[in-house]
């Protein structure tokens, strides 16, 4: 049983990296068809503005706490064992644990160049890993449906885990919209994990990732793309928590 706690109407799992990895491996073994969302502050804020998106996130098999503010909030509410469960770390954890029993992986997202480097680096790190393929879909809008031939190819190569790197909220919509059309047991939306593992984007050092300052590192790396997510989104998150604390109804749910 996965314990989940409500943060501004979003059900976040009380979990950590090893526990989430084991849950995914168990689902693959059972053949359970589901998807995994990774929820930083920006996902929780986006869910306030979009009821459909909130439903998608809440219908996942598990939505993990990605982002130290989410972890700190859960700890402050008494869940001391919770740990950050970050997309790139989760992907590497599952690849390492799964290569011992022949887990088959497929990568959807990124670019052709990124995916080649991603697979090369994973094979260097885990020589016995089984990768059934990758597909770079190009620019996707929220809610776009994938051509049937692409879905057929993914089904034909029979992956156990489909890693989706489209960024949130696109990847979460994509997983929900295609869940019934794909035979793969588990889909996991991992955002920028493709770029980080491929080495095409610089990842913050571990101490920064665990200090709660990764947002600042990423903002400095990509200010034009990420300023709104972090400067506006983080402020909105704090404001909504204050409103909730004082029972001020600022968000329609």
pTM assigned to the model: 0.89
Looking at residue 105, what is its pLDDT? 98
- Per residue in 134-155, pLDDT (tens digit) is 999 988 889 889 999 999 999 9
Cα–Cα distance measured from residue 58 to residue 251, given in angstroms and rounded to the nearest whole number: 17
| Fold type of domain 4-191 | Rossmann fold (3.40.50)
Looking at residue 159, what is its pLDDT? 98
Least confident window among 20-29, 135-144, 243-252: 243-252
Checking if the pLDDT of 45 tops 90, the result is yes
- Per-residue pLDDT band for 1 (boundaries 50, 70, 90) equals confident
CA angle at residue 10 from 216 to 151, to 5 degrees?
90
> Distances in Å between the alpha carbon of 94 and those of 75, 89, 122, 123?
25, 9, 12, 14
């Amino acid at each position: 049983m996965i314990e989940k706690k409500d943060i501004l109407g979003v059900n976040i799992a009380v979990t950590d990296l090893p526990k989430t990895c084991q849950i995914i491996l168990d689902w693959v073994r059972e053949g359970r068809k589901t998807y995994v969302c990774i929820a930083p502050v920006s996902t929780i804020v986006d869910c306030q503005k979009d009821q459909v998106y909130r439903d998608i996130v809440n219908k996942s098999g598990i939505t993990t706490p990605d982002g130290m503010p989410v972890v700190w909030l859960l700890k402050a509410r008494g869940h001391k064992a919770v740990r950050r469960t970050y997309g790139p770390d989760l992907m590497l954890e599952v690849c390492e644990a799964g290569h011992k029993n022949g887990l088959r992986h497929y990568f959807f997202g990124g670019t052709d160049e990124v995916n080649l480097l991603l697979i090369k680096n994973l094979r260097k790190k885990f020589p016995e890993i089984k990768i059934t393929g990758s597909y770079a879909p190009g620019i996707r809008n929220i809610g776009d449906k994938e051509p049937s031939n692409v879905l057929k190819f993914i089904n034909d190569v029979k992956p156990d885990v489909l890693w989706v790197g489209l960024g949130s909220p696109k990847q979460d919509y994509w997983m929900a919209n295609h869940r019934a059309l794909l035979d793969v047991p588990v889909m996991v939306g991992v955002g920028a994990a493709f770029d980080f593992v491929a080495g095409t984007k610089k990842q913050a050092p571990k101490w920064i990732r665990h200090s709660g300052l990764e947002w600042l590192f990423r903002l400095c790396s990509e200010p034009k793309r990420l300023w709104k997510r972090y400067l506006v989104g983080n402020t909105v998150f704090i404001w909504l928590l204050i409103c909730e604390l004082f029972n001020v109804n600022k968000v329609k749910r």
